[in-house]
Chains A and B, each alone.
Chain A
């Protein structure tokens, strides 16, 4: 079964600084990867996804992620964060179209003014 490891439970960062949230998955022949964001008191919202093709994926709100098969990673990046990016971020994986997503434990991003 697939599994996902988010290496950092909390990441504090100053406003306008760059940020990287790390995600590693268990190896599989095929893999589909997702990043979701959860703002306080809300459900999860899809940020971006990798299904195939270009390994650099761009998402909403200026976020991007890079699929690295050799390192089994899918790290999320943003070059300059805003206070409004304060939220919890979840990495998720599936290895087939018909199996539910498996989520990581989440990384809480705190942007400091």
Chain B
């Protein structure tokens, strides 16, 4: 089975901290995605990447950046965490666009 592993299940950070959310997939997938999930808003795309060192902005990139130095790893960075970034963050990967995505279990981030 394809596995997408998010390094932390729960995180609590202080306002202004730099936060790294790590995501690793083990099936040589080309495509990787970061979504945030909020009640009543569903999933919203933050950033995605279709290749190493490539990144594209999604619908809500403000306040975030990403890094993809290796094919299997896609990191989401909150440069200066704010309370409105408290959310569930979901990483996903896919081989091509139409096979469906494999999601990690999510990281619930609380910024205080």
Contact = CB atoms under 8 A, between A and B. Distances in A.
Q: Do A and B bind each other?
A: yes
B105 A97 contact: no
A99 to B, nearest CB: 7
Interface residues of B, number: 24
Contacts, number: 57
A49 B98 contact: yes
Interface string B78-112: 00000000000010100011101111111000000
Contacts of A9: 40
Nearest to B50: A98
Contacts of B105: 41-43
Interface of A: 6, 9, 32, 34, 36, 41-46, 49, 51, 90, 94, 96-106
8 A-B pairs with the lowest CB-CB distances in the bound complex, closest first:
A43-B103, A105-B42, A103-B43, A46-B100, A97-B97, A44-B103, A43-B105, A103-B42
